[in-house]
Amino acid sequence: MPSKELTINDMPMDVFEKICENLGDNYQEKYWFTFRHVSKSFRNAVDFWNPSEFRRIGLSSTTRDISILFNGCRVSYIRKSKNSTGIKFHDHDSINQYGNFRDLAVDDLMSVLASPGGYELEKLIISEKIDKRFAQRLSDEFTKLGANVDVNTVQLNPARIMNPIPVNKILNLFRSIEEINISYSQDNDPITQKDIKSIIGKANRIEALKNAGMVKIDRSLMDSDSKLLIPRGLKIPNMTLAYGFLSDKSAFKIVGILLNSPHLKCCRINTSSFLTKMEFDENLKELGAANDPENRNAYKYRIPDFQEFFEIEIKRNNTFITANFGDRTNRKELKSKLNRQERKER
């Protein structure tokens, strides 16, 4: 009877480790990801290694494939059949592996994120489409492994067909998000008023935007059409708006809308303008803002029908104007807090 032909999967693990030791002192970090995609047995072996640190991760998925960026290295998981996946690194030929493409992608991702002491991502990029089933698989694994991940910055590139439900599900997996940047891919067609309404509607359905430390609306969403300059309808409490050039009419139309927003708590506007600081001041006063006697660059605006006000600080550097809307403050709450502090000090 002829002997069975041996394959790489039959290599004893002690032999595998001996070979790896000849690859250099940092072989676990350097070859961890590569060996995970050689075979199932190799994947099981390297799971006992310390994984590489990937601080920048990008996600995009459809019902047929998933793309993940690990520190700029793109890995694609392509569905061949129910239990067969093609895995492709950059422009290299794909290799076939047994397993569902979503399971393999989530397994690779969680092998990085599910660190016992918690994990911190510098940047998470969510581009275009996110498949519901991929988002659910990732959510299930986060729960199963008890992963604790903090994110410094999320870059959200909203597409016209972006589904806010899976995006929200993914963002809500993270313990904290300091900042979310909403931008528009320059590879896409010019954005229209109809597109911006759709994107605002979808953004309002992403609860994570309301819980992030700050949400930045990139100028790429606003520079192509002057009608897109007004962020009307955004239900985001903390945001930064970045514009290119603003006319005085547009600038104060925006400020007027923001000042009367029932949702806004804190806002920063970054723009360039021909307005002088004096003109900016005069327009603020016309809107009803009063100069702060203790700081000539600061204003207070009483919000109509509320016992609250915005503190506005204006900074100018050459042609750039930055308007900082300080935290929305409740006068009654502030007075009560001061009274409690006085009683405590007595």
Category of 329 on φ-ψ map: left (φ > 0), alpha (ψ -120 to 50) or beta: beta
Select, from the ranges 170-184, 268-282, 330-344, the one with the highest average predicted confidence (pLDDT): 170-184
User: What pLDDT score was predicted for residue 340?
Assistant: 46
Least confident of 194-208, 282-296, 303-317: 303-317
- Cβ-based neighbours of 127, under 8 Å, separated by 6 or more: 58, 59, 60, 157, 185
Where residue 339 falls among pLDDT bands split at 50, 70, 90? Answer: very low
Q: Which of 251, 255, 333 is nearest to 288 (CA)?
A: 255
Between 158 and 239, where is the model more confident?
Answer: 239
Structure tokens given for 225 = 């059409």
Answer yes or no: is pLDDT of 214 > 80.
yes
Per-residue confidence (pLDDT) for residue 142, from 0 to 100: 95
pLDDT at site 344: 47
Alpha-helix runs per DSSP H in the chain? 13-21, 27-36, 40-46, 101-113, 132-145, 164-171, 193-203, 208-211, 248-259, 277-287, 331-345
Give me the pLDDT at residue 105, please: 94
Which residues 6+ apart lie within 8 Å of 237 measured at CB? Answer: 210, 263, 264, 265, 266
- Length in residues, the chain: 346
Residue that the structure tokens 């993940």 belong to = 68
Q: How confident is the model at residue 185 (pLDDT cuts 50, 70, 90)?
A: low
Instruction: Write the pLDDT tens digit of every residue in 52-82.
Output: 678 999 999 999 999 999 888 889 999 999 9
Q: Tell me, what's the pLDDT at 12?
A: 78
Which residue has better confidence, 154 or 335? Answer: 154
For the segment 82-136, what is each residue's pLDDT rounded down to a tens digit? 999 999 887 777 788 888 999 999 999 998 898 888 899 999 999 878 999 999 9
The per-residue pLDDT of the chain, averaged, comes to 77
pLDDT confidence bin for 21, thresholds 50/70/90: confident
What's the mean pLDDT in 8-28?
Answer: 78
- List, in sequence order, every residue forming a beta bridge with 267; answer none if it has no partner: 239, 325
78 and 63 Cβ atoms separated by less than 8 Å: no
pLDDT of residue 334: 36
- Give per-residue pLDDT as tens, 230-248: 566 778 888 887 777 777 6
Amino acid 337: pLDDT:
38
Q: What is the pLDDT of residue 141?
A: 96
- The predicted model gives 169-174 an average pLDDT of 94
pLDDT value for 127: 81
Q: What is the pLDDT of residue 306?
A: 62
